[in-house]
Amino acid sequence: MLGLLPPNGRLVEGQVLFKGRDLARMSKAELEKVRGNEIGMILQDAMTSLNPLLTIGEQVGEVFKYHQGVTNKAELRRKSVEVLEKVKIPAAESRLDSYPFQFSGGMRQRVSIAINVALSPDLLICDEPTTALDVTVQLQILKLLRELQQEQSMAIVFVTHDLHLAAQFCDDVAIMYGGRVVESGPVREVFENPVHPYTEGLLNAVPSLSAYSERLVAIPGQQPSLSNLPPGCRYAPRCSMATDQCRAQYPDWFEWNEGERRVACWLTEERLVGCH
């Protein structure tokens, strides 16, 4: 979306629409204006996303230097302190001259959040932002993200493998399999009434504290290789309900509730009738 990686393929069709503009077809210079200003991105491990050779102050200050043209050192420091305080870094002024290795994992992730919300973007992409953190710090970071989201009226795309986190944090969820969204809708509805067999399999695989079972339920088989996808539905080799049509043809979207709920599975209608 943001062209951060070297191209490892080519775009043959489709668009990445953001506020009516196609990110996939923007020039490098146009994309540079979108990054940071309009879309921020928080990566999984701040230890590797921050530069180990620059102080925290230099890295936060860069945002104002390159995007707002601030060159006055005192002004850069003032703005950097302000944004570090916003993400609740204690004694922010004195921490400006520290290096990332002198911060704990949670504090480093706060710095990374500070850099990415400094310019009040409209969208913040969080790619597994709490995976490298322990559970209590995870909660603090989620709380902070929620506060910032409300304060700055910003949308968040939260990428996660953790269904509990998605249920706690998100309004809407899109379940992906083999590189495509297979089911989407309001998080509560999708988790309470999953329709796609993969969503159902994922939810069945979540261990329960209240119901004891000898064995955990797992989805049989392996994820397909993205360079060698099966024809038809990508989930068919693992799906107990697969038919010849599933193996031959990729399923169309089935939509209801004015498109709020969407499922890509040939059996959606049948399964919905069975539920009601």
By CB under 6 A, how many residues form the interface with ligand SF4?
A: 13
Read off φ and ψ for residue 163, nearest 5 degrees: -65, -30
DSSP code at position 8:
-
Shortest separation between residue 228's beta carbon and ligand SF4, angstroms:
17
Shortest separation between residue 268's beta carbon and ligand SF4, angstroms:
8
Query: Which positions from 253 to 272 touch ligand SF4 by CB under 6 A, shown as an x/- string?
Result: ------------xxx-----
Query: Smaller CB distance to ligand SF4: residue 191 or 235?
Result: 235
83 binds ligand SF4, rule: CB under 6 A: no
Shortest separation between residue 2's beta carbon and ligand SF4, angstroms:
31
Neighbouring C-beta atoms of residue 251, cutoff 10 Å:
20
Q: How far apart are CA 60 and CA 63, in angstroms?
A: 6
Q: How far apart are CA 64 and CA 152, in angstroms?
A: 18
Query: What size, in residues, is the chain?
Result: 276
Shortest separation between residue 16's beta carbon and ligand SF4, angstroms:
26
Neighbouring C-beta atoms of residue 166, cutoff 10 Å:
19
Query: Smaller CB distance to ligand SF4: residue 91 or 176?
Result: 176
Query: Residue 180 has which token pair?
Result: 């495509």
Q: How far apart are CA 225 and CA 183, in angstroms?
A: 20
Shortest separation between residue 162's beta carbon and ligand SF4, angstroms:
23
What DSSP assignment string belongs to 206-229?
S--SSS--SS-----S-PPPTTSP
Residues 193-252 that bind ligand SF4 (CB under 6 A): 196-197, 233, 235-236, 239, 241-242, 246, 251
Shortest separation between residue 49's beta carbon and ligand SF4, angstroms:
36
Q: How far apart are CA 42 and CA 173, in angstroms?
A: 19
Residue of 142, 140, 176 lying closest to 156 (CA atoms):
142
Query: Residue 169 has which token pair?
Result: 């944090």
Query: Smaller CB distance to ligand SF4: residue 165 or 233?
Result: 233
Query: Smaller CB distance to ligand SF4: residue 39 or 246?
Result: 246
Query: Smaller CB distance to ligand SF4: residue 31 or 242?
Result: 242
Query: Smaller CB distance to ligand SF4: residue 214 or 244?
Result: 244
Q: Which residues bind ligand SF4 (CB under 6 A)?
A: 196-197, 233, 235-236, 239, 241-242, 246, 251, 265-267
